[in-house]
């Protein structure tokens, strides 16, 4: 087959302990999935899960032990960090039941759902899509994927992000409103999941702005650290 121009390269993420990489298909994100974060955004914390997407090439891969870099994006004066547990799907399916959901998971990673909060808020006010606030270039930094068998007790893991060495967000994955299995059940009722799909599962309270020159260090216990500088 020939193409009228070269196709985009496959976005992929390193896998700890493996020479093979994880090819990314789609990036799904869960909105307002920790109660204290929902409250800080002006909501009650009690609502069905809802989803948005980022393009696969919004990924910024940060290799283990490295400090990644993302450019400060255009058109915003309020770039927020959202530290999140990321689920990497290994086996696709639709209408996956929560009881069977963990069998569809390849592994886990630490991710940042970077957000142009001012633009997102403008869109919310007008009832317009969040894409410009959420799905911009370089908006999805992520560390290596840890295969599920080596990831420890991710569902009860501490999650945090520090900016320039100061705590910004610190919570526990056990505080998810919709846990990972329930999230997969809801998501796969709306889309057929595919191997390579990533799910950013939501962020705890403490979202705030970063500026050029800031260094973010985020972690989910058992999955290592994600370290990235805003250029």
Contact residues: Mn ion, CB under 5 A: 82, 113, 203
Between 15 and 84, name the residue whose CB sits nearer to Mn ion. 84
Question: What token pair was written down for 74?
Answer: 């255009």
Between 15 and 183, name the residue whose CB sits nearer to Mn ion. 183
Burial class (CB in 10 A: 0-12, 13-18, 19+), 46: exposed
Between 86 and 193, name the residue whose CB sits nearer to Mn ion. 86
Phi, psi of 144 (to 5 degrees): -60, 155
Secondary structure E strands in 117-211: 140-142, 146-147, 158-163, 166-172, 198-200, 209-210
Name the β-bridge partners of 13: 22
Instruction: Give the residue closest to Mn ion by C-beta.
Output: 113
Cβ 113 to Mn ion, closest distance in Å? 3
* DSSP one-letter code for 155: G
Tally of CB atoms within 10 A around 131: 15
Cβ 141 to Mn ion, closest distance in Å? 12
Cβ 5 to Mn ion, closest distance in Å? 33
Between 15 and 200, name the residue whose CB sits nearer to Mn ion. 200
Cβ 200 to Mn ion, closest distance in Å? 6
User: For residue 137, which of 230, 200, 71, 68 has the smallest C-alpha distance?
Assistant: 71
Cβ 139 to Mn ion, closest distance in Å? 10
Between 15 and 87, name the residue whose CB sits nearer to Mn ion. 87
């Amino acid at each position: 087959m020939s193409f009228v121009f070269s196709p985009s390269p496959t976005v992929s993420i390193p896998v700890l302990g493996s020479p093979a990489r994880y090819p990314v298909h789609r990036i799904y994100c869960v909105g307002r999935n920790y109660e204290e974060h929902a409250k800080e955004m002006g909501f009650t914390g009690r609502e069905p899960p809802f989803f948005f997407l980022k393009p696969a090439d919004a990924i910024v891969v940060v290799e283990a032990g490295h400090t990644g870099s993302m450019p400060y994006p255009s058109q915003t004066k309020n770039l927020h960090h959202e530290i999140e547990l990321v689920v990497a799907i290994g086996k696709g399916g639709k209408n996956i039941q929560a009881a069977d959901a963990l069998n569809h998971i390849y592994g886990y990673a630490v991710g940042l759902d970077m957000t142009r909060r001012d633009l997102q808020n403008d869109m919310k006010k007008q009832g317009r899509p969040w894409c410009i606030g959420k799905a911009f270039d370089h908006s999805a930094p992520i560390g290596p994927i840890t295969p599920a068998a080596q990831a420890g007790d991710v569902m009860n893991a501490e999650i945090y992000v520090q900016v320039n060495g100061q705590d910004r967000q610190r919570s526990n994955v056990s505080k998810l409103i919709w846990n990972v299995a329930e999230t997969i059940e809801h998501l796969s009722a709306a889309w057929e999941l595919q191997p390579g799909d990533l799910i950013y599962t939501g962020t705890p309270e403490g979202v705030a702005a970063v500026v050029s020159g800031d260094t973010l260090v985020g972690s989910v216990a058992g999955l290592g650290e994600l370290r990235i500088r805003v250029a």
